[in-house]
């Protein structure tokens, strides 16, 4: 993903699709591969991000004096921030190709996706930008030389959308963090693209503190990828999400409606995080294929070990014991 060839392959590879009615049944190997990739359910966060990115790209299209307005996608771990970011990047890439045609877009890279490395210095971050487009970097090059090369090449490649993930790794209170934040500000002013950032609980990190934080906060809008609530007024967004995922299963004996009925249990099990839910359902589907049951039940779900964050949240036996213990 963090190279142009990798992102282009991701953007142009057909997405996983659920079985269509009347189609020939897929083999076991095909269905295992399908549930490994699985579908990406369109969530409100993806819709909000797509709408805002499109608006900001139009807004900043002819803005040349100062940095264009940007977006920050924030939320807890496992809330689907990176998935939302990549889906919007894919849509931007495909829209650019449809609009201009594959021949006209040869040599162009409309979307860039960069990860902030741990303890990033300005130079290591600049190298990550260079690596994405395969810009040669020699050991003797200074940060300024790498940055100049990045700005020139990104402009020549007509990059329109720059997505920077793991932005919470930047700490402007440290010397290296401050220099990295300054580099990003420099890039936003020299590259004619819309910048979108994603990170864990960004508003609680030092990223918005001090002069540099105020500059970022003054230019960036926030989109919160919060965990899904069990209920939101009269709506049940988490149950709707489960229903959409269940509808995409390719299991021959699974009973439709089983998973939505387990919505309270699934919400407690995953704390409403879409990443944990998707992993749980995918693993359960693969288990059902391997053991031949071809259906997901609560017993199947109970047997699966999830990510540590989810397992820490879900401790029913401990809670049962504490409720049954009386104080003498």
Structure confidence by residue, pLDDT tens digits, 40-57: 888 888 888 899 999 988
Name, in order, each residue with C-beta under 8 angstroms of 40's C-beta and a sequence gap of 6 or more. Answer: 15, 46, 83, 87
Residue 321 confidence class, pLDDT cut points 50, 70, 90: very low
pTM over 0.75: yes
Residue 289 pLDDT exceeds 80: yes
Going by C-alpha positions, the residue among 107, 11, 114, 96 that lies closest to residue 54 is: 96
DSSP-assigned states of every residue in 189-229: HHS-SEEEEEEETGGGSGGGSHHHHHHHHHHEEEEE-PPPP
Buried b (16+ CB within 10 A) or exposed e, 126-140: bbbbbebbebebeee
Q: pLDDT above 70 covers what percent of the chain?
A: 91
Residue 178 pLDDT exceeds 50: yes
Residue 325 pLDDT exceeds 70: no
DSSP-assigned states of every residue in 82-103: HHHHHHHHHHHHHHHHHHH-TT
What pLDDT is recorded for position 322? 45
Encode pLDDT of 77-88 as tens digits.
888 899 999 999
Encode pLDDT of 94-149 as tens digits.
998 888 877 666 778 999 999 999 988 999 999 999 999 999 999 999 999 999 99
Q: At what angle are helices 210-219 and 175-190 packed, to 10 degrees?
A: 30
Residue 61 pLDDT exceeds 90: no
């Amino acid at each position: 993903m963090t190279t142009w060839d990798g992102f282009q392959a991701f953007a142009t590879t057909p997405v996983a699709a659920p079985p269509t009615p009347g189609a020939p049944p897929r083999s076991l190997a095909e269905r295992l591969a399908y549930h490994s990739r699985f579908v990406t359910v369109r969530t409100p966060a993806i819709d909000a991000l797509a709408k805002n990115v499109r608006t900001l790209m139009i807004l900043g299209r002819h803005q040349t004096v100062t940095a264009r307005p940007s977006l920050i996608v924030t939320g807890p771990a496992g809330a689907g921030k990176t998935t939302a970011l990549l889906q919007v990047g894919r849509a931007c890439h495909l829209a650019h190709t449809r609009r201009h045609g594959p021949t006209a877009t040869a040599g162009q890279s409309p979307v860039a996706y960069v990860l902030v490395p741990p303890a990033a210095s300005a130079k290591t971050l600049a190298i990550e930008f260079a690596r994405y487009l395969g810009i040669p970097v020699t050991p003797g090059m200074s940060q300024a030389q790498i940055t100049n090369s990045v700005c020139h090449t990104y402009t020549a490649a007509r990059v329109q959308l720059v997505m920077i993930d793991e932005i919470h790794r930047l700490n402007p209170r440290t010397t290296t963090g401050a220099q990295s934040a300054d580099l990003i500000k420099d890039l936003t002013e020299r590259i004619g693209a819309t910048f979108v950032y994603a990170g864990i609980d960004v508003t609680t990190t030092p990223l918005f503190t001090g002069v540099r934080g105020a500059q970022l906060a003054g230019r960036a809008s926030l989109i919160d990828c919060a965990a899904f609530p069990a209920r939101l007024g009269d709506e049940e967004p988490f149950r709707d999400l489960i229903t959409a995922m269940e509808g995409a299963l390719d299991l021959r004996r699974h009973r439709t409606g089983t998973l939505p009925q387990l919505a309270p249990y699934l919400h407690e099990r995953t704390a409403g995080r879409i990443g944990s839910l998707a992993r749980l359902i995918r693993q359960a589907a693969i288990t059902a294929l391997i053991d031949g049951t071809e259906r997901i039940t609560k017993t199947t779900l109970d047997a699966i070990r999830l990510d540590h964050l989810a397992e820490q949240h879900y401790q029913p036996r401990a809670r049962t014991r504490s409720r049954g213990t009386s104080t003498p």
